Structure 1
Amino acid sequence: MTSSASAQQAARFPLWLLVCASLTALAPLSIDMYLPSFPTLSADLGVDIGRIQLTLGTFLVGLALGQAFYGPLSDRYGRKPPLYVGLGLYAAAAAGCALARDVEALMLFRFLQALGGCAGMVVARAVIRDRLAAHESARAFSSLMLVMGLAPILAPILGGFILQTLGWRAIFWVLVAASLSILWLVHLRMEESLDPARAAPLRLGHVLAGYGELLRDREFLGYSLSAGFAQAGMFAYIAGSPFVLIELHGIAPSHYGFVFGANAFGLIAMSQCNARLVRGRPLDRVLRGALLVPCAAGLGLAGASLAGWATLPVLLAGFFLFIAALGCILPNASAMSLAHQGHRAGTASALMGTLQFSLGTLAGAAVSLWHDGTALPLAVVMGVCGVGAVLMRAYGCRGAGHP
């Protein structure tokens, strides 16, 4: 690599953004690394695999709930102190997972692990908002999507290797080491980005009033929920695609990872295209066009399932288009929702994350509860999510004064 190319890469990924990427990567690593160990966990802890799947559900609930606490803390005490608390809790809970002797203990520690790990998600978004304006934020969020896309590809491979060589408990010890390494990086290399003059009071009434104002802010709420519905479609895909592809259409479990990885690659590619698309173009215009893709893909999947045309090629194409489009949608919708929230970036980031993960949890639960032995539940939920994302963007853009 030439010196000029190295300089461009360094400019694109400055140290503070690499720290934010590490913080953002912790949650998907925590989800995807231990997925290959489900059968082993079931046998070792003496429970059916459905109980093991609940440990993933408790983690997602922890991610949705925990973010609401770190936002106000980061707006009052700065961005770094909540990370010390969150990453410390994460490391201790991951160690608890490694030492768990029954599934109830594992579920408890997974919940606590999520409560700690979600601090990084909240603070990473707030730091980007502290440092960058809307267009630059969209490009920075696109860079974070590179990490979010790589995690589903690499984490199961790494988790499977650790499982085969050292056992499932070692996966959680690796997560302990990862969180402590990130904590060290935050302490030594991350500069505080909150202006002390903008520190917000930490009083319950003030915090609740801030959340109330955000919920009444059409621009913030519309764009946050637009990203939330789009992301919920991905959660539905994660929950329902193993059954649809493996059980219904006979894809070998060993080959399912290639399908999962191909969709993640599409998300990565589109996130990097988005960094170029937003240069010189209004963010809302790019977002409006991108949202049409999952809407059309979701409705197409639902229509094909109702008509009996949901063949494997149709499903694979629909899944790919829906997931890949998130590479454009999530960075731009996040940047738009936080564009005018600089005075409470942490609180806004927290509420945005809580709303989005709550929608994702509901979408995954809907697919699981409406299980009828066909692809219809997954297709319909993805279709609803695609339409919901378009409608919420229209609601938000009217609040922002966009055409």
Structure 2
Amino acid sequence: MNRKTFVSLVLILGSLTALGPFSIDMYLPGFPAIAKSLNTTVSHVSLSLASYFIGISAGQLLYGPLLDRFGRKPPLFIGLGVYILASIGCSFAAGIDQLVALRFIQAIGSCAAAVASIAMVRDLFPVEENAKVFALLFLVVGASPMIAPAVGSYVTAAWGWSSVFWVLGGMGLVLLLVCVYFLPDSYKPDTTLSLKPGPIISSFLSVIREPQFYTYALAGSFAFSGLFAYVAGSPLLFMKVFGLSEKMYGWLFAGLSVGFIGSNQLNTLVLRKYRSEQIVPVALACQAITSVIFVLGVYNGWFGLGATLFLLFIFLSCLGFTNPNTSALSLAPFTRNAGTASALMGAMQLGIGTLASVGISLFDEKAGALPMVGIMAFSSIAALVLLLVGRRNIGQLATGSGAGMMAH
């Protein structure tokens, strides 16, 4: 594969992977405007975020078997079509219940892009390069929290919150056209795979019984759910607790994402010297310690805006090391059913993340930042414990040479 093809594939797959995060981040600055327009509260608006997470989690399980049975592109095209129509529908939502339902459908469409892109990394690139490719994909994905909130804040201020969903629908259309004309077929459909419930369940069970999969997938999912808590709680934290404007919130959110992006790319350099299974426990320990300090500080009122931003930056930086390595190690043992495995891992990540985001909406706004940082701390500690316990059940670790792993 020449360099031009490599770069173009990474950009396309990264853009597909980023569609979901962009759909989350871009409308966050509009939470107060949505609440006012639909006669509800910011906490209730966050339910539309939770429904998106539920949809994208459930959709992972739907698309996994379809991608293995029919190939990568047909399910991807259908999913993007659903996403475009649902995005337009969101712009016309007349009440919070309608928005919550339409966001669920929008998520069902968008997760086709996420599952397909992850499976295609496993299809298109040598297994020893998967960790590097994932780091590059996360670089593209990482641009979404830098760009999306800032764009969303200006779009909301200029044309109202509903216009954000027209922009998202337009993005979906562009991606659909790019995939039709420029994305290669990476996988020959396996017509022997059955889409009946029994064989599908058996396929998922065969994946989840693999100790390496459930250890790193669960640890990575709990660690990653701290990001969901942050995303769900940040509008309340910055715009209500600290009284920042929509535009200022967008820029701060973008600035903090530099920690996640930077550490993700630094991880690629660290992999030259250390293996993924060596990096993960160190990153999780740092994440847990940071979140515990954060909880203690918020509970006792020690931190102002500056200290809060610093601790969030460190927390997100830890995730930049944790996420690509746990993802790659989770899927290292799989080849034939990589689509099913990537779908199950994605469903676990998003399912646990959904619980974290729903947890934020259960608390009154008067609780301030404490629910957010409490969930971040719990998820980080749980991830570290799951890793330390689960590693005892892994026999021979499936890895790729050089990068210390195989992947998605």
TM-score (normalised: structure 1): 0.89
The match for 1:397 is: 391
Q: For 1:257 and 1:89, how far apart are their aligned partners in 2?
A: 28
- 1:129, distance to aligned residue in structure 2 (A): 1.7
Task: Report the Cα distance in structure 2 between the residues aligned to 1:96 and 1:312, rounded to whole angstroms.
Answer: 37
Residues 1:197 and 1:97: Cα distance change in structure 2 (over 3 Å):
closer
Confirm whether residue 62 of structure 1 aligns to residue 62 of structure 2. no
Give the gaps of 5 or more residues in structure 1: 1-7
Q: Which residue pairs with 2:216 in the alignment?
A: 223
Q: What corresponds to 1:367 in structure 2?
A: 360
Counterpart of 2:48, as a letter, is: T
What is the correspondence of 1:311-390 to structure 2 with a 5 Å cutoff? 311-371=304-364, 373-390=367-384
What CA distance in whole angstroms lies between the structure 2 residues aligned with 1:281 and 1:324? 18
SS of the residue 1:342 aligns to: coil
Distance 1:299 1:38, change over 3 A: closer
Please state if 1:158 is matched with 2:151: yes
Q: Tell which deviates more after alignment, 209-218 or 132-141.
A: 132-141
Quick check: 1:219–1:395 contact (8 Å CA) kept in 2?
no
My pick for the range that moved more, 317-326 or 51-60, is 51-60
RMSD: 2.6
Displacement of 1:73: 0.5
Q: Does 1:25 align with 2:18?
A: yes
Given that 1:134 and 1:336 are in contact with CA atoms closer than 8 Å, whether structure 2 keeps it comes out as no
Shift of the 203–34 alpha-carbon distance from structure 1 to 2, 3 Å rule, reads same
Unaligned segments of structure 2, at least 5 residues: 398-408
Which whole-Å CA distance do the structure 2 matches of 1:232 and 1:225 have between them?
10
Kindly indicate whether the alpha-carbon contact (under 8 Å) linking 2:153 and 2:250 is maintained by their aligned counterparts in 1.
no
| Partner SS state of residue 337, structure 2 | helix
Change (3 A) 1:68 1:184: same
Distance 2:266 2:318 in 1: 11
CA gap 1:316/1:116 in 2 versus in 1, 3 angstroms: same
Deviation at 1:284, TM superposition (A): 0.8
Sort the Cα spacing of 1:240 and 1:164 in 2 relative to 1 into closer, same or farther, 3 A.
closer
For the pair 1:211 / 2:199, whether they are aligned, the reply is no
Q: How many residues align?
A: 396
Q: Report sequence identity in percent.
A: 36
Distance 1:338 1:344, change over 3 A: same
- For residue 370 of structure 2, what is the amino acid of its counterpart? L
Q: In structure 2, how many angstroms separate the alpha carbons of the residues matched to 1:16 and 1:300?
A: 41
Deviation of 1:308 after TM superposition, in Å, equals 5.1
- Return the offset for 1:51: 4.1
For 1:303, which of 296, 299, 302 is the aligned residue?
296
Query: 1:135, CA displacement in angstroms?
Result: 4.2
The 1:330/1:183 distance shift into structure 2, 3 A limit, reads same
Q: Distance in 2 between matches of 1:300 and 1:103?
A: 36
Please name the residue that 2:270 is paired with. 277
CA distance in 2, matches of 1:198, 1:129: 19
Distance 1:389 1:198 in 2: 38
Task: Give the Cα–Cα distance (whole angstroms) in 2 for the partners of residues 301 and 210 of structure 1.
Answer: 41
1:66 Cα deviation (Å)?
1.1
Q: Which residue of 2 aligns with 1:5?
A: none
Which of 124, 131, 135 is equivalent to 1:131?
124
Post-superposition CA distance 1:186-228 (Å, at most 9, x none):
1111112224469633221111011122222221111111111
Q: Deviations over 1:14-65 (max 9, x none)?
A: 2222211111111112112222333333444444444433322221211111
Distance 1:271 1:199 in 2: 38
Contact 2:47 2:358 in 1 (8 A): no
Q: Which has the larger displacement, 238-247 or 134-143?
A: 238-247
| AA aligned opposite 2:372 | L
Matched residues in 1 for 2:149 and 2:2: separation?
Answer: 28
Of the structure 1 ranges 161-170 and 286-295, higher mean CA displacement relative to structure 2 is found in: 161-170
Superposed displacement of residue 81, structure 1: 1.2
- Is 1:98 aligned to 2:91, yes or no? yes
Deviates further, 392-401 or 206-215:
392-401
In the alignment, the residues of structure 2 paired with residue 97 and residue 358 of structure 1 have an alpha-carbon distance, to the nearest angstrom, of: 22
Secondary structure in 2 matching 1:343: coil
The residue type paired with residue 284 of structure 1 is E
Higher helix share: 1
Given that 1:224 and 1:337 are in contact with CA atoms closer than 8 Å, whether structure 2 keeps it comes out as: yes
Residues 209/316 of structure 1: CA separation in 2 closer, same or farther (3 Å cut): same
Residue by residue, what CA displacement relative to the aligned partner does 1:299-347 show, whole Å, maximum 9, x if unpaired? Answer: 2223334555445444333211111111111111111001111121111
Deviation at 1:245, TM superposition (A): 4.5
CA drift at 1:134: 4.8
**Residue identity in the other structure for 1:150:** A
Structure 1 residues 84 and 216: alpha-carbon distance in aligned structure 2, compared to 1, 3 A threshold: same
The whole-number CA distance in structure 1 between the counterparts of 2:269 and 2:149 is: 30
Say if 1:13 and 1:392 are closer, same or farther in 2 by CA, change over 3 A.
farther
User: Partner letter of residue 262 of structure 2?
Assistant: A
1:76 deviation in Å?
0.9
Q: Give, in angstroms, the shift of residue 87 of structure 1.
A: 0.5
Alignment of 1:80-99 (within 5 A): 80-99=73-92
Per the normalisation by structure 2, the TM-score is: 0.88
- Contact 2:46 2:232 (8 Å CA) reproduced: no
